[in-house]
Amino acid sequence: MSIPDLESRLLAASGDVDRLARTLGDGANPFPRRVNADPESVERGLAQLVLTLIELLRQLMERQALRLMDQDSLDDEQVERLGLTFMRLAERMDQLKAEFELSDEDLNLDLGPLGSLL
Amino acid sequence: MMHLYAFARGLRELEAELETRRFGSLLAVVGADEPDPLQHGLVVEGLLDRADAVLPVRFGERFVTEDELAGAIASRLEALEAQLDHVAGCVEVGVRIVPREEPADGDDGAAYMRARLREQLAADEVHRALAAKARDSVRTNRDAGYLVARADVDGFSQAVQRLLESRPSLDVLCTGPWAPYSFAAAT
């Protein structure tokens, strides 16, 4: 029994396919990533976990805000303020990721059968 | 020890290490081996080509005795039969849509929100159009699974391609055909 050729399962794609592939996680290592508890890297491991949770919350809040905006439940000032907040948050996340040398895929925890977090 | 791989109907042949047990109109495909998740997936994929209908079982269903297996299935036999009817002749096509999140102008919060909303609505529209072409669909945040008749997979992926050409702001990946895991029972 051999592993099927994954390229044969690609039906269609558009845009930045390399970026998409990174969102899928590491196919060669299907087991959940763990926080590395090595004393040298424990700080980075914890930062990875905390930033992952913040990124999840940022995405959830942004989606909720967009839904309200789509329903015309927000006035112009609220939209402006929310937009600025999300922009600042995204900038700050990028800074923190750079500081801890984490990439977007590092923040995408594999939850096994539940799929990936982000 | 028995490991449960899938339920099937119209099974034409079976690999040597697998066995079946009949429950109502279902065949439960079981094996004595203890597979890892990848082996489990490959067995299910293998069944897809050899049966009229395959309802995958998620990895990790193990039973010590025949009675335990029968007990687990008896209580929800009708639901399983209905699910197998639902996926008969179909495979799953997966579509992941990730908005490009083009950075907006420095200090314009409203422009940022409008850009995100446009991307979100474009993604919603693609999913709605594809769901209309599928027998069934499920969607989480960025991923959607579509239940598509095996013979329609080519037509479906062409429809995906056409939808994408008019939406350059989305990064989209369409893969398949897969066993219909998203439409299988939680076990």
Segments making up each domain of chain B, as ranges: 2-87, 90-183
For residue B38, CA distances in Å to A3, B25, B110, B134 come to 9, 28, 46, 27
What is the C-alpha separation between B35 and B30, in angstroms, rounded? 11
Enter the tokens of residue A6. 């994954």
For residue B25, CA distances in Å to B13, B80, B147 come to 17, 10, 22
Beta-carbon-side half-sphere exposure of residue A112 (alpha carbons within 13 Å): 7
Q: What is the ipTM of this complex?
A: 0.71
Q: Are B174 and B157 in contact (CB under 8 A)?
A: yes
Does residue A75 surpass a pLDDT of 90? yes
What is the C-alpha separation between B182 and B173, in angstroms, rounded? 17
Q: Using 50, 70 and 90 to split pLDDT, how confident is the model at A11?
A: confident
Q: Are A25 and A116 in contact (CB under 8 A)?
A: yes
Does residue A50 surpass a pLDDT of 80? yes
Report the CATH architecture of B90-183. 2-Layer Sandwich (3.30)
* Chain B residues with beta carbon closer than 8 angstroms to that of A24: 96, 173
* Chain B residues with beta carbon closer than 8 angstroms to that of A65: 113
Q: What is the pLDDT of residue A4?
A: 60
The pTM assigned to this predicted structure is: 0.78
* Chain A residues with beta carbon closer than 8 angstroms to that of B171: 14-17, 19-20
Mutation for testing the A interface, residue in B108, B113, B164, B169 having most A CBs under 10 Å: B113
Choose among B93, B104, B170: nearest Cβ to A15: B170
Contact B109 A80 (CB under 8 A): yes
* Chain B residues with beta carbon closer than 8 angstroms to that of A70: 117, 120-121
What is the C-alpha separation between B35 and B60, in angstroms, rounded? 9
Per-residue confidence in pLDDT tens, chain B, 187 aa: 899 999 999 999 888 889 999 999 999 999 988 888 888 999 999 999 899 999 999 888 999 999 999 999 998 999 999 999 999 999 999 998 887 776 666 788 899 999 889 888 888 999 999 999 999 999 877 789 999 999 999 999 999 998 888 887 788 889 989 999 999 865 4
* Chain A residue whose CA is closest to B174: A12
SS3 category, B187: coil
